[in-house]
Structure 1
Amino acid sequence: MNYEHITCEIDGRLMIVTLNRPDRLNAYTGQMGAEIADAFERADGDDNVRAIIVTGAGRAFCAGADVSGGAASFDTSGQHGAGVFASPKPGGGRFVEAIFNCRKPSIAAINGGAVGVGITMTLPMDIRIATKGAKIGFIFARRGLVPEAGSAWFLPKLVGLPQALRWCLSGRTFDADEARQGGLVSEVVEPAELLGRAKEIAREMTEATSAVAVALTRQMLWRFSGAPAPFELLEIDKPMSIERGGHADVREGVQAFLEKRAPSFPGKVSQDMPSQYPWWHGEKNVAE
């Protein structure tokens, strides 16, 4: 796919995705969503990519959906509204699925304003950091809309139901410090430090870890953190641990520990996922 609304570059073992409509404050379009999905699917299938960082060009991260169509910007009976909600497959939401199912961890480096879909698109990502001065808002109620991109599921998992309700029911914007206090972002940094800090976090998650173990761990945490009991997880993690115990990754991890050196894990997500994966039903893994 030729990208027009994002850029995508490889920096060592990292993929850097940049929302790239700075003249529109990176306002979201259906095409942008399709391009984000494609980039994450590419990263998922590339063993050389260990993590993805998403940021924005210019002074905003994403100012929400493109409303240049005026009051009818969300009316899909018109060309503009249809473009805002356009999806490359029936049912929509493909970029959410691509981010959530990706076997590589992702970081949102929020470099400026992030409202509406501009913030909800970050919720399936694993870590969010923001620059000082960034304004964030789940502004849907103030537009007559409802939270989209699965955010009514993601947001309470991340910040708790009371905080999610307070932000979403008021629809107000708030600053990065409040986002950190509420648990939405983990760090607030100076603008010049944002991308460098995101890369540091990405390297922290990837330089001394098994790619396969990271892929499995993020799915286990996401999918079971809201389970009512641990029993279904117990049926999965024990046999998975047993199978992984005989893999070269585990032998290397233990040997490196004993020899007091950095590990060099041979496992690849493209071919070394255990037989239990994917263990969920009724969903199709985007990498298949």
Structure 2
Amino acid sequence: MSDIVRFEVIDRVGVITLNRPDKLNALDDAMHPALDEAWVAAHTDPSARAIVLTGAGRGFCAGADLTRLDRFAASRGSDFDLPAPGVAGAAYRGLGLDPDLATTYTFPLATPKPVIGAINGACIGIAFAIAMTCDVRFASTTARFGAAFPQRGIHAEAGIAWLLPRIVGRTLAADLLMSGRVIGADEALRIGMVSRIEEPDALLDAAIGYAREIAINSAPQAVAIIKQQLFDGCTESFGDAARKAHDLLLERFASDDFVEGIASFREKRPPRFADL
């Protein structure tokens, strides 16, 4: 695996680190396939029950590298090299995932594993979109979030105009996307964009510790179902969601995980849940 995107498993947690700290981890041409490879590694590694995404150094990701944007501007976008949603990229073929979601920028929505974003600094442009696809986001006190799309003459990318209103509400989403203004960690916490703020030196450990608690104490199959319920609930009626939850409950009652969950609780021991 390329060193510009690192992947390692720490105590049942797959940690993906964007690793161009001298460029605030801006996504250049080489980082895209490297991130694809890391997403697939985290998704397919059975020892990783949860995933943490972070950046090396003092930035999470400053968005697209300017050399990449310069190339697109010079060619008027004719050499844009990423497949459209619905067209599975080479890295994701054969995984059985939704091709609308299994992309470089939206893979956290595609994998059934929980993905926690550890936003340790600048999170701008397409990185802002990637961060919003994570299931949970922690931020350091130095984190800064900004869409930046309209300042570059483009619209909201990668489905962020669909996703962000479901995180912070339509009015705040319109504010952030149309103005492109940069907000800090305190405002991000206040509007519900992040769940927790940590000091920079404590952020990654906090995110890994949180992910580990899910990996150790929550049944992976149940977590995967919950993640799908949350996504489906964005577009389905309450009645449909309730009926689906009822049918799923009957299935889970018949599962070994349910028996194990009750037994481990009664016996006051860690559960031994099945992997995905």
- Which TM-score bucket, shorter chain as reference? 0.7 to 0.9
- CA-CA distance at 1:64 after TM superposition: 1.0
**Aligned equivalent of 2:95:** none
Matched, 1:104 2:113: yes
> What letter matches 2:259 in structure 1?
R
Distance 1:188 1:76 in 2: 40
Query: What are structure 1's unaligned runs of at least 5 residues?
Result: 270-288
Residue 213 of structure 1: aligned partner: 222
Which residue number corresponds to residue 136 of structure 1?
145
- The TM-score, its normalising length taken from structure 2, stands at 0.87
Moved more, 233-242 or 104-113: 233-242
Match of 1:172 in 2: 181
**Structure-1 residue corresponding to 2:8:** 9
Q: Which residue of 2 aligns with 1:77?
A: 75
CA offsets, 1:80-111, max 9 Å, x none? x84xx422674877124432111110111111
Partner of 1:273: none
Q: Shift of the alpha carbon at 1:34? A: 3.1
Please say if residues 111 and 134 of structure 1, whose CA atoms lie closer than 8 Å, have aligned partners that are also in contact.
yes
What residue identity is the alignment partner of 2:193?
L
Note if 1:56 corresponds to 2:58. no
Partners of 1:246 and 1:152 in 2: CA distance = 39
Amino acid at match of 1:204: E
Instruction: Determine if the alignment matches structure 1 residue 262 to structure 2 residue 270.
Output: yes
Structure 1 residue 35, shift from structure 2 partner: 2.6
CA distance in 2 between counterparts of 1:133 and 1:44 reads 29
Q: Over aligned residues, Cα RMSD in angstroms? A: 2.2
Shift of 1:203: 1.8
Deviations 1:165-208 (A, max 9, x none): 11111111121111111111111111110111101211222221
CA distance change for structure 1 residues 191 and 215 in 2, over 3 Å: closer, same or farther? same
Please name the residue that 1:39 is paired with: 38
- Within a 5 Å distance, the mapping from 1:170-209 to structure 2 comes to 170-209=179-218
Q: Secondary structure at the match of 2:164?
A: helix
1:111-122 matched pairs, under 5 angstroms:
111-122=120-131
- Could you say if the C-alpha distance between residues 145 and 91 of structure 1 is closer, same or farther in structure 2, counting changes exceeding 3 Å? farther
Change (3 A) 1:88 1:147: closer
Q: 1:200 to 1:239 in 2, by over 3 A?
A: same
Query: What TM-score, normalized by structure 1, do the two folds share?
Result: 0.83
The 3-state SS of whatever aligns with 2:154 is coil
Counterpart of 1:86?
81
Matched residues in 1 for 2:44 and 2:159: separation? 24
Question: Which runs of structure 1 show a deviation greater than 4 angstroms over 4 or more consecutive aligned residues?
Answer: 88-93
Distance (whole Å) between structure 2 residues aligned to residue 41 and residue 103 of structure 1: 12
**Residue 255 of structure 1: SS of its match in structure 2?**
helix
Selected match of 1:248 from 250, 256, 265: 256
The answer on whether the counterparts of 1:156 and 1:164 sit within 8 Å (CA) in structure 2 is: yes
Letter in 2 for 1:249: D
Q: Which moved more, 1:168-177 or 1:256-265?
A: 256-265
Structure 2: how far apart are the matches of 1:197 and 1:249?
A: 27
CA distance in 2, matches of 1:244, 1:66: 46
Instruction: Report 1:150-165 matches (<5 A).
Output: 150-165=159-174
Q: Which amino acid aligns with 2:246?
A: K
- 1:231 corresponds in structure 2 to 239
Q: How many corresponding residue pairs? A: 262
Taking the aligned partners of 1:128 and 1:73, their CA distance within structure 2 comes to 32
CA distance in 2, matches of 1:98, 1:133: 25
**Contact persistence 2:11–2:212 (CA under 8 A):** no
Q: What is the identity percentage for the equivalent residue pairs of Structure 1 and Structure 2?
A: 36
Distance 2:67 2:187 in 1: 29
Q: Is contact 2:28-2:67 (8 Å) kept?
A: no
Deviation for aligned residue 1:233: 2.1
Aligned-partner residue type, residue 22 of structure 1: P
